[in-house]
């Protein structure tokens, strides 16, 4: 990546082999932020010190432009659930990183990477075993395997169990990253025992059993050599009953091995100076003159009255309870004042889709509800709005606020998870801050901070522009995050 510094590696220091195993990775398959991490982290590591590669499933629904570039590596047959099953291995190189793909159309041939819960549990148990069995055949022995979310939670367990005795797998370290603790790969004990093919020894309350069910994510937390999550605040929150999803006690017990590392964003894809989706390019020096052109273009595109001076708030989100939209619903009438415009893009729960459609109909001159998803329109909104609203109930990391900061669109967020770690609240007395935030999960507290931001925008425009200056100066590229992962990898592989 441009501008990425490379540290000199002392003579005689061994190159470290790092393998990321996950259920998705950009640009091949993406349903959420997990794919961004798995696709972006490897190319930002110091290539003089780390040989980092990735294994994901070969989904039939993968874009054809990528599928047709895959090269056959090898194949093998693996006994799983009493049946000899085919596992192919393909590969491609993308932006200097080798990606391997486990091929089995029986498991990965559906129209989407995830679907039926029970089927997902089976196919990812197969995937984890196939990925480990493929390693001796592809000529790459990792010093460390970095596992992501419940779909790879059994790999640290397998490394301590069935694969521990083999010379090839001995001494391989593991890191397990929790991207969202809400999803854990849980089913009844008998089913998880059958699908994982692990002995009874592992299904006790101090291992994979949780509240009389089997829990695949818990396996990763218990057996990995280190556990990470995607922001420092979220790493603290998940040790409490409210955010811990039943695993807070375990996470407190592993607190010495648990750390938070905030995700980055791709500064090539998200760059207001070169963004192919927006009509007016700008940077931190000329945004005062040029950013507003994106605003009027957005207003015109969405059928809102063109008004350079009108305060314009945007949301690009899954429309779910987690995103704090029940707070928005409570005070939407108050938000829809005639001194602002409001734009939302996304799909999700029917109640929120219909709520936003209703207010679009009722206040069509100030509310625009786009109930679908478009990458192009998302970039338009990040560049064209004055503020970006993100009142989440919980947010492990969050990428939207990082993109908004990059585009000089001021975030208004609740102080939780990655939002608290990345958005510094505006302090009018100290002249600091990159956004606006509220602490309690309360609709009127959110409304109050929206009104405060609106007041600064209308009545202290110089201060507003200084907030933009500070926001655009912050560096949330993958460089800083990758350095922290490098430190973790080096520490774990040093003993």
The domain locations on the chain are: 16-264+479-492, 287-475
- Residues 456, 460, 465, 467: is their CA dihedral positive or negative? negative
The label of the residue with tokens 């350079």 reads 308
Give the SS3 label for residue 150: helix
Give the SS3 label for residue 238: coil
Q: Do domains 16-264+479-492 and 287-475 have the same CATH topology?
A: yes
**Per CATH, domain 16-264+479-492 is 3.40.50.2000:** yes
pTM higher than 0.85 for the full model?
yes
- Measured between alpha carbons, how far apart are the two ends of the chain, in Å? 30
Residue 223 has which token pair?
């057996």
DSSP secondary structure, 289-326, as one string: HHHHHHHHHHHHHHTPPP-TTSEEEEEES-BSGGGTHH
Give the SS3 label for residue 103: strand
Half-sphere exposure of 115 (CA within 13 A, CB side): 12
Residue 321 has which token pair?
């309870």
Q: pLDDT of the chain along its 495 residues, tens only?
A: 333 334 444 555 679 999 999 999 999 999 888 998 999 999 999 999 999 999 999 999 998 999 999 999 999 999 999 999 999 999 999 999 999 999 999 999 989 999 899 999 999 999 999 999 999 999 999 999 999 999 999 999 999 987 877 789 989 999 999 999 999 999 999 999 999 999 999 999 999 999 999 999 999 999 999 999 999 999 999 999 999 999 999 999 999 999 999 999 989 899 999 999 999 999 999 999 999 999 999 999 999 999 999 999 999 999 999 999 999 999 999 999 889 999 999 999 999 999 999 999 999 999 999 999 999 999 999 999 999 999 999 999 999 999 999 999 999 999 999 999 999 999 999 999 999 999 999 999 999 999 999 999 999 999 999 999 999 999 999 988 999 999 999 999 987
Q: Which CATH number fits domain 287-475: 3.30.70.141, 2.60.40.2550, 3.40.190.10, 3.40.50.2000?
A: 3.40.50.2000
Give the SS3 label for residue 268: coil
What letter does residue 6 receive in the DSSP assignment?
-
d(CA 318, CA 322): 9
Q: Smallest Cα–Cα separation from 150: which of 116, 115, 183, 109?
A: 183
Q: Is residue 403 within 8 Å of 36, Cβ to Cβ?
A: no
Half-sphere exposure of 362 (CA within 13 A, CB side): 12
The side-by-side arrangement of strands in the sheet containing 144-148 is 71-80, 83-94, 97-103, 50-57, 16-21, 144-148, 173-178, 226-229, 258-260
d(CA 406, CA 275): 12
């Amino acid at each position: 990546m441009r501008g990425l510094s490379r540290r000199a590696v002392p003579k005689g220091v061994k190159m470290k082999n790092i393998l990321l195993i996950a259920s998705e990775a950009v640009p091949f398959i993406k349903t959420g932020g997990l794919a961004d991490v798995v696709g972006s982290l490897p190319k930002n590591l110091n290539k003089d010190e780390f040989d980092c590669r990735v294994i994901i499933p070969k989904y039939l629904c993968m874009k054809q432009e990528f599928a047709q570039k895959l090269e056959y590596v090898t194949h093998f047959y693996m006994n799983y659930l009493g049946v000899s099953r085919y596992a192919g291995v393909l590969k491609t190189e993308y932006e200097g990183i080798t990606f391997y793909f486990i091929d089995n159309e029986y498991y990965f041939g559906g129209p989407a990477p995830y679907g039926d819960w029970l089927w997902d549990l089976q196919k990812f148990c197969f995937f984890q075993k196939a990925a480990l069995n493929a390693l001796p055949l592809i000529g790459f022995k990792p010093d460390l395997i970095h596992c992501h979310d419940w779909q790879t939670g059994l790999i640290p367990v397998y490394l301590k169990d069935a694969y521990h005795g083999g010379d090839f797998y001995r001494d391989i370290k593991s890191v397990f990253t929790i991207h969202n603790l809400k999803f854990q790969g849980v089913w009844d004990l008998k089913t998880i025992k059958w699908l994982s093919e692990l002995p009874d020894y592992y299904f006790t309350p101090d291992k994979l059993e949780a509240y009389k069910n089997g829990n695949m994510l818990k396996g990763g937390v218990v057996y990995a050599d280190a556990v990470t999550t995607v922001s420092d605040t979220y790493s603290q929150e998940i040790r409490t009953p409210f955010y811990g999803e039943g695993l807070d006690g375990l996470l407190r017990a592993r607190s010495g091995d648990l750390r938070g590392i905030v995700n980055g964003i791709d500064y090539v894809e998200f760059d207001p100076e070169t963004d192919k989706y927006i009509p007016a390019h700008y940077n931190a020096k000329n945004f005062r003159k040029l950013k507003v052109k994106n605003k009027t273009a957005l207003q015109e595109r969405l059928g809102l009255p063109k008004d350079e001076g009108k305060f314009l708030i945007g949301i690009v989100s899954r429309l779910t309870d987690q995103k704090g939209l029940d707070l928005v619903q409570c005070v939407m009438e108050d938000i829809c004042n005639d001194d602002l415009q409001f734009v939302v893009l996304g799909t999700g729960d029917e109640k929120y889709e219909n709520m936003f459609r209703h207010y679009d109909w009722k206040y069509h001159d100030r509310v625009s509800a786009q109930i679908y998803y478009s990458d192009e329109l998302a970039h338009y909104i990040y560049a064209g709005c004055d503020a970006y609203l993100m009142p989440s109930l919980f947010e492990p990391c969050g990428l939207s606020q990082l993109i908004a900061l990059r585009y000089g669109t001021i975030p208004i967020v609740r102080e939780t998870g990655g939002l608290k770690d990345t958005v510094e609240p505006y302090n009018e007395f100290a002249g600091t801050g990159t956004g606006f935030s509220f602490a309690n999960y309360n609709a009127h507290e959110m409304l109050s901070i929206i009104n405060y931001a609106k007041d600064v925008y209308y009545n202290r425009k110089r201060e507003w522009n200084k907030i933009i200056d500070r926001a655009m100066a912050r560096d949330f590229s993958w460089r800083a995050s990758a350095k922290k992962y490098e430190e973790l990898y080096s520490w774990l592989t040093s003993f």
